[in-house]
Chains A and B, each alone.
Chain A
């Protein structure tokens, strides 16, 4: 098979890769702001305002990555898009309800009369929680191939809880990076709990996915592959240890290394994602439809790619600009 000569081969592959990147970026970026929403009820009122201020300028752009990911699925793999989304009809609807609730609560908690603030705080939390849980549930159902059997649903419920813990974890590391004093100390505690959840989640997923899918089992536990793949779990383990050690020493008086937990958590998400991507390739609907079968017409993909090559660098540049503009600590009740 001539990879670059044949546009019906390299275009679907490129789009699958782009989609993967969009999902990964989404999970890391919206992960931290969803996670902060999940942690909302565990802090006091002043701290809630601080937590909002560390995600305020970013959340909208973060969610746009979800729109891009679903957009790429829709434009590049239309049949798979229909298949996946009708199979996940209910969890998608619940996720959307969650996203709506938290998105508007963001604004309304600050603008509605004082007496209603409490109520919008609650919908921010409930919305974030529903979103995280339903995304985790969908991930689980997707891993097992979108068939609703009792075992599969149980597995999906497990991933729902684990992904939510993962989001809370990365949210806590973002708080460690962006805040100080009490809130930072509290964030360190959250991160420790979250890390436990992440460890359980990794273990459960790594055990369960080969069990529920013989194909995935075969891809990982055969001879020479197991050696090429070994770095993935080994690196992940090393990162977990690194995070654990750093968290024990936090908060550092001079705030040294406060960026480290977030960076390490993001890397951990990347590794996990790479593992998943390896398991699924070349399928876009696990074990049913491959990316080559589902792809749109090459002319249409090409015209999108053309635009993407011009626009994506610009998007990357101004996304970086915005993180540079809003760098540094968000500080509560102190003057500069």
Chain B
């Protein structure tokens, strides 16, 4: 693989968006969960909900900041590395991004200030409203950006004039064929990521001997949300796949590792797809199951990759190995989530907290960041599965790349990777540290020093 500007820019884009997405995935759902904690406190007056709120609002503030700074990087990427993207589809991507900034970013950014620091300065209803608006804002962000991404996957409602895309039907653009599936699947993914994070941090505190009412409440909340959402996610994922089969059959062929169009296609549990020989090695399969899943019929005909090779040998399907395996990682983690959340829910129900086997919190700790891996794997399936197109059938990735010298892109790529690596580690470290600190009952170094200032200026110690 030669390191030209295209490859480097793609790597850089992938690094940036992967780093960005892991934080919104947490905040989108965590915002709503914080609102839930707050409303429970108001309804019951039970301090444990307020303790839960205070702990997770720190997690939220930190994740949000990471999301914001990496998001700013994202918005510059289009211009610095993919100028061809905006030149070709700017008439559609532009308004969608502009609506995201106007209806979501300002809302969340301004009310975040009031939510984090305003509790003693505004009446309680306004603080609750601010919390609601922040959660609503993050969800709106997800909505607009997913509209754009779905449109790039399944573009409709436009026409080409002088080689430039012009919008003809905004309703069709916003509600494009894959948007509802992608939005639902992403919001559920966010719910799962946040609930496993909460369950995992609560499990850690539990194992460290911190078994207060708030830890019990958050562990239960995390496990319950996860147990509830994962079946929905699997169901939504199945529907998503059927939709993709209709609009992007080549992507599904790659996900299934199916080379020839035929009936009775097996479900491959393991295989090494090999594009040079156009076949799989070491297959481990369940006969006809892929046909049953995709066509609800063992004899159902499933499209194969060889249909997507042009006469002259140009390959018009995505890289098979990467798509095949990303998809399996996602589904595998989904199955693991199902097992862990249900077993944990069952144990909490049968054993209760007082007789809980340590294996439950241990499993939850292992799964703390599982949502990240599933979400990233899912996005790799989706995005790599769209190649060689950037906008399906309209714009190729190679046509959009900017004319920046490879060394430049290489040096910025190294810079981003270094920063992202360090920050991701710091983030995980600090979350664990916050849990340990809460478990040991010690005040934050900062809470001690800042408490007087905070009281004076009305800043919540929760920051």
Contacts and interface: CB of A to CB of B under 8 A. Distances in A.
Given A74-B79, A114-B445, A304-B94, A315 B122 contact: no
Contact of B113 (A61, A83, A88, A100): A61
B94 A103 contact: no
B99 A78 contact: no
B113 A58 contact: yes
Contacts of A93: 80, 412, 415-416
Nearest to B404: A89
A43 interface: no
B211 interface: no
Contacts of A303: 95, 167, 170
Contact of A304 (B72, B98, B114, B166): B98
A74 B79 CA distance: 7
Contact of A108 (B72, B91, B430): B430
A161 interface: no
Given A93-B412, A300-B95, A335-B455, A67 B402 contact: no
Interface stretch (A202-210, A212-220, A224-232, A317-325): A317-325
9 contacts: A63-B72, A75-B90, A85-B76, A96-B72, A304-B94, A307-B102, A325-B122, A330-B457, A333-B453
A104 B423 contact: yes
A71 B452 contact: no
Contacts of A239: none
Nearest to B66: A104
A276 B456 CA distance: 42
A135 B456 CA distance: 35
A195 interface: no
Interface in A8-36: none
B80 A86 contact: yes
Contacts of A53: 450, 453-454, 457, 459
Given A71-B75, A322-B114, A111 B434 contact: yes
A319 B110 contact: yes
A82 B79 contact: yes
A307 B99 contact: yes
B60 to A, nearest CB: 10
B101 interface: yes
B103 interface: yes
A78 B117 contact: no
A283 interface: no
B55 to A, nearest CB: 12
B444 interface: yes
B166 A299 contact: yes
B113 to A, nearest CB: 3
A112 B430 contact: yes
B251 to A, nearest CB: 28
Contact of A83 (B83, B92, B121, B423): B83
Contact of A296 (B90, B444, B450): B90
B423 A113 contact: no
B97 interface: yes
Nearest to A66: B72
The 8 closest A-B pairs by CB, nearest first: A82-B83, A75-B94, A85-B79, A57-B113, A114-B445, A78-B90, A103-B69, A78-B86
A98 to B, nearest CB: 10
B83 A111 contact: no
Interface string A91-127: 0110011011101101110111110010000000000
A71 B97 contact: yes
A57 B101 contact: no
B456 A332 contact: yes
A245 interface: no
B163 to A, nearest CB: 13
B79 A110 contact: no
B189 to A, nearest CB: 24
Given A106-B65, A335-B452, A71 B98 contact: yes
A325 B90 CA distance: 38
A308 B90 CA distance: 18
Nearest to B408: A89
B440 interface: no
A241 interface: no
Interface in A60-74: 60-61, 63-64, 66-68, 70-74
Given A67-B105, A81-B86, A76 B118 contact: no
A249 interface: no
Contacts of A99: 69, 72-73
Contacts of B80: 85-86, 88-89, 92-93
B113 A299 contact: no
B46 interface: no
Interface string B113-132: 11011100110000000000
A187 B79 CA distance: 38
A101 B76 contact: no
Contacts of B408: 89-90
A112 B433 contact: yes
A117 B445 contact: yes
A277 to B, nearest CB: 21
A325 B118 contact: yes
B106 interface: yes
A50 B429 CA distance: 26
Given A57-B113, A71-B98, A335-B456, A107 B65 contact: yes
A282 B192 CA distance: 50
A86 B90 contact: no
A326 B113 contact: yes
B213 to A, nearest CB: 24
Contacts of B183: none
Contacts of B114: 57, 321-322, 325
A200 interface: no
A111 B62 contact: yes
A83 to B, nearest CB: 7
Contacts of A181: none
B374 to A, nearest CB: 24
B97 A299 contact: no
Contacts of A297: 91, 164, 166-167
Contacts of B117: 56-57, 326
Contacts of B376: none
A307 B106 CA distance: 14
B87 A82 contact: yes
B220 to A, nearest CB: 25
Contacts of A290: none
Contact of A331 (B95, B444, B445, B453): B453
Given A100-B70, A111-B444, A300 B92 contact: yes
A330 B450 CA distance: 12
Interface in B405-426: 408, 412, 415-416, 419, 423, 426
